[in-house]
Amino acid sequence: MEDIIRILLLLLGALFTVNAVLYAFFAHPNAGFFVTLGLGVIFLTPSIFWNTFSVLPLWTRVAYYACILVLLTVILIPLIFGTRSTVNHKEDAAIVLGAKLKGDQIPSVLALRLDKAIEYHRENPRALIILSGGGDQNLSEGEAMKRYMLARGVSKDIILTEEQSANTRENLAFCKELLTARPEIRRVAIITSGYHALRSHLMARNATLNATRLSASSPLHLLLPDLIRECMGLLRFILLKY
């Protein structure tokens, strides 16, 4: 049994550490990256120094294992509850939430959101598409997203950009401001990554948007840090509504 536990800890440690390294290579390091890397070390340390860990008091080891189970369960919450889409393709508009660009390039996580928006557009071509995202670079997320959509045949007549927001709360708040000038838009679909969909939907409700959600897939090599960062964001929203 001890050998199995040691191997499982080694695999968990390797999974978290490798995912953190890949995230640093393919995306912008953030809090999720650092926590993922730290967890990788926490999982690897007992498996490497097993002779020392195995003689610790039983309650210490049991508490360690319990913390791991709770942690893994919490990490999966955004994914489990967020991946269920609730759109009916009768919404008046679709809001696509942005993600930080790599220079002037669309990162893979954002490309998957935009591809999902294109799929939605084919099912509901009358809906306005709002591309939301600012950024501190010369090219805003909103404009980069618009170029991506136009290059794939989506008409500019149904695209609206919001280019001031820096986070999810601002995405939704600024999009709501845009919608106040369009009273005919009564229901919107929020399109974002599956791990991000739960918090986005809760924040949309908090902003009094009549919203459904549509979840895009996520690059597997980036998923763990994004999930961990999302858990931190979800906890912050629950406590602070931010």
Domains and CATH numbers, the chain: 2-82 (no CATH), 93-240 (3.40.50.620)
pLDDT in tens, 172-202: 999 999 998 898 999 999 999 999 999 999 9
> What average pLDDT does the chain have?
92
Query: Cβ neighbours of residue 104 under 8 Å, at least 6 residues apart?
Result: 137, 138, 139, 144
Helix (H) or strand (E) holding 215: strand 211-216
| pLDDT value at residue 241 | 76
- Residue 1 reports pLDDT greater than 80: no
pLDDT in tens, 55-105: 999 999 999 999 999 998 988 888 888 788 999 999 999 999 999 898 888
Q: How confident is the model at residue 36 (pLDDT cuts 50, 70, 90)?
A: very high
CA atoms within 13 A on the CB side of 67: 10
CA distance 85 to 111: 18
Helix (H) or strand (E) holding 96: strand 93-97
Instruction: Determine what percent of the chain is predicted with pLDDT higher than 70.
Output: 100
| pLDDT value at residue 195 | 92
SS3 of 191, please?
strand
- Residue 110 reports pLDDT greater than 90: yes
Place of tokens 């080694």: 10
Place of tokens 């009273």: 183
DSSP state of 87: -
Place of tokens 């990788």: 40
Q: What is the pTM of this model?
A: 0.90
CA 230 to chain centre: 6
| Average pLDDT value for residue range 94-120 | 94
Q: Is the dihedral of CA 114, 116, 121, 124 positive or negative?
A: negative
Burial (0-12, 13-18, 19+ Cβ within 10 Å), 222: buried
